[in-house]
Amino acid sequence: MSSGSNLRSEDQFLCSICLDVFTDPVSTPCGHNFCKACITHYWEENERCQCPVCKKVFKMRPEVEVNTFIREMVAQFRHEAQQEASSRSSAAKPGEVPCDVCTGTKLKALKSCLVCLLSYCQTHLEPHLTTPGLKKHQLMEPVKNLEDRMCLQHDKPLELFCRTDQTCVCLVCPVLDHKNHKFVPLREESEGKKAELKKTEAEVQKMIQSRRVKIQEIKESVKISKDAADREKAEGVQVFTALKEAAERGLEELIKEIQDKQKTAEKQAEDFIKDLEQEISELMKRSSEVKQLSQSEDHLHLLQSFSSLKAAPPTKNWTEIRVHPPSYEGTVVRAAAQLLEKIKKKMKQLMEADLKRVQQYAVDVTLDPDTAHPDLILSDDRKQVKDGDVRKKLPDNPERFSYCANVLGHQSFSSGRFYFEVQVKGKTKWTLGVVRESINRKGKIGLSPQKGFWTVVLRNGNEYEACAGPSVRLHLQPGPEKVGVFVDYEEGLVSFYDVDAAALIYSFTGCSFTEKIYPYFGPCTNDGGKNSAPLIICPVSQDDFNSDESESKPESEPGSDEAP
């Protein structure tokens, strides 16, 4: 509780026993001061009656009286401390308007005067509330920079709003600078602007709400994406675990087969060795008998035993007997071929499942006659197209292909996923895919993603290519009779499928779609009847999925235009 403007400090009024500001201060004969209750209790607790500070001993307990001078000093000190605390509590905080008159701590202003151009705290505002001359001054809620509320030309308060010039003016401005202008009091214009602000606030709140809804949509999309990713990861783990287990089982079977062959060879060798060792033992025994008999001096015994010893013991002919190492040729190849067959079978299952998934996004595609090259013939239902070898007289509108025999789908797409199928059976040449809206339709066409084309082509009856710029040769044996085309706009993916084989032909990935894209059909020239079969847009089988689950909707519905 120290004060920067007062020489007295809190330490001067502290009792050395309780270490707090004096309560009923008394003085001992030695001149030291204590709270009356503190010194009395101290003497009662100690056997010797002495001063707690200087330790002077008193023969008898002194009679102490309250020191009125010190008590008054303490009371004044408490009052000043309370005032200072009160002053600090009402001091202007950052962001609040301070009093312009306060010289020490700037207190919080309660009002601002538009005449004096000053802001006042409670104390300094008093003259404006009591003095007759000052009571006429215009007071308002405290604001900073009061000079900004004064007319720079006439040094008067800004009290009117000029609707003609849309600016605030003083009472002199209409007479001198804004003649014949329309004026209203600031309050009236302010109320009108408040109404506009409320309307703006409502619009802003509506925008905020719509964005919160969008946030929820995005979060839900992320959740759906995460769930799909989790399912895909789980399926991937399941598939690759099965393949890994199949590979491990195949390896175990291969190793067992090799080990079994080796064990059989070792067993045969052990049997041969056992027989040979047995015969060796018998022959050694006979050799010993022969040697012993040859050294005998008993002529009669030698002659009697000679016949039986001379006859050779029955033995095998070991000349042609051999242990042939087992043949391992083709063992590893056969095992790998079996594993590859299992992998192919699993891949076919995966491809079938993948094709079924993309078929869920099937859309009804029809051909747009306004884009068809004059040589092309479209069926009445706009589902088939072929080259007619005869150029029809058609208006050369900007949408029509005039050089290459191509036609676009009537439907365009700028978001989501979509899928369609086209029969190419019997054709020796064709081009299929999707294109962006702004492609060149009047001259030679370079099929590449850089020019807005994502296509697969057949040329010369059996040459398949993905026009990826440069082209990628595709080895398709046999070639597809029905091609499926799938597009994921946001993912930037275009995939082509052999529908009957449920096999992926090719995928363009990382595509950048920034405008509408259209299905693209090129039946190519008739080639003297060799390529007379039409491209046919086929209905997608409904057996394995519900078409209502399709994410992408065409931006123009079929049947809106009449065929030429």
| Strand ordering across the sheet containing 160-162 | 167-169, 160-162, 183-185
187/138 Cα distance (integer angstroms): 14
pLDDT value at 549 more than 70: no
pLDDT value at 560 more than 90: no
Exposed, middle or buried, 454 (CB in 10 Å: 0-12/13-18/19+)?
Answer: buried
pLDDT value at 7 more than 60: no
pLDDT value at 327 more than 60: yes
Of 85, 84, 77, the closest CA to residue 12 belongs to 77
Condensed to tens digits (0 to 9), the pLDDT of residues 328-374 reads 777 788 888 888 888 878 778 788 888 888 999 999 999 999 999 99
pLDDT band at 95 (very low <50, low <70, confident <90, very high): confident
- Residue position matching structure tokens 């303490």: 74
pLDDT band at 8 (very low <50, low <70, confident <90, very high): low
Phi, psi of 126 (to 5 degrees): -55, -45
465/477 Cα distance (integer angstroms): 13
Q: What is the pLDDT of residue 545?
A: 44
Phi, psi of 269 (to 5 degrees): -65, -40
Look at the pTM and tell me if it is higher than 0.75.
no
Radius of gyration of the chain (CA): 55
Q: What is the pLDDT of residue 205?
A: 94
Of 113, 111, 122, 120, the closest CA to residue 87 belongs to 122
pLDDT value at 295 more than 90: no
Q: What is the pLDDT of residue 286?
A: 83
Of 150, 171, 148, the closest CA to residue 161 belongs to 171
Q: Which residue has the higher pLDDT, 306 or 544?
A: 306
Exposed, middle or buried, 48 (CB in 10 Å: 0-12/13-18/19+)?
Answer: exposed
Instruction: For the beta carbon of residue 203, count every other beta carbon within 10 angstroms.
Output: 10
| Chain centroid offset of residue 204 CA | 28
Interacting residues of 279 by C-beta distance below 8 A, sequence separation 6+: 315, 316
pLDDT value at 101 more than 50: yes
CB 28 within 8 A of CB 57: no
Of 381, 494, 376, the closest CA to residue 436 belongs to 494
What are all long-range contacts of 474-481, with beta carbons under 8 Å and residues at least 24 apart? 474/505, 474/506, 476/505, 480/424, 480/505, 481/423, 481/424, 481/425
Exposed, middle or buried, 480 (CB in 10 Å: 0-12/13-18/19+)?
Answer: buried
109/229 Cα distance (integer angstroms): 62
Least-confidence region, from 18-32, 35-49, 306-320: 306-320
Phi, psi of 70 (to 5 degrees): -65, -35
Q: What is the pLDDT of residue 85?
A: 56
pLDDT value at 554 more than 80: no
pLDDT value at 541 more than 50: yes
Q: Answer positive or negative: Cα dihedral of 515, 516, 517, 522.
A: negative
CB 93 within 8 A of CB 108: yes
Which of 14-18, 191-195, 256-260, 488-492 holds the top average pLDDT?
488-492
Q: Which residue has the higher pLDDT, 36 or 90?
A: 36
pLDDT band at 83 (very low <50, low <70, confident <90, very high): low
Instruction: Over range 450-459, report the average pLDDT.
Output: 94
Instruction: Over range 500-520, report the average pLDDT.
Output: 92
553/555 Cα distance (integer angstroms): 6
The mean predicted confidence, pLDDT, of the chain is 84
pLDDT value at 552 more than 80: no
CA dihedral 335, 338, 343, 349 (to 10 degrees): -160
pLDDT band at 313 (very low <50, low <70, confident <90, very high): low
CB 39 within 8 A of CB 52: yes
pLDDT band at 537 (very low <50, low <70, confident <90, very high): very high
Q: What is the pLDDT of residue 208?
A: 94
pLDDT band at 115 (very low <50, low <70, confident <90, very high): confident
Phi-psi region of 275 (alpha: psi -120 to 50; beta: other; left: phi over 0): alpha
pLDDT band at 310 (very low <50, low <70, confident <90, very high): low
347/210 Cα distance (integer angstroms): 45
3-state secondary structure of 270: helix
532/430 Cα distance (integer angstroms): 11
Q: What is the pLDDT of residue 344?
A: 79
Q: What is the pLDDT of residue 369?
A: 93
Q: Answer positive or negative: Cα dihedral of 153, 158, 159, 160.
A: positive
pLDDT value at 564 more than 50: no
pLDDT band at 450 (very low <50, low <70, confident <90, very high): very high
- Sequence letter at residue 237: V
Q: Which residue has the higher pLDDT, 248 or 313?
A: 248
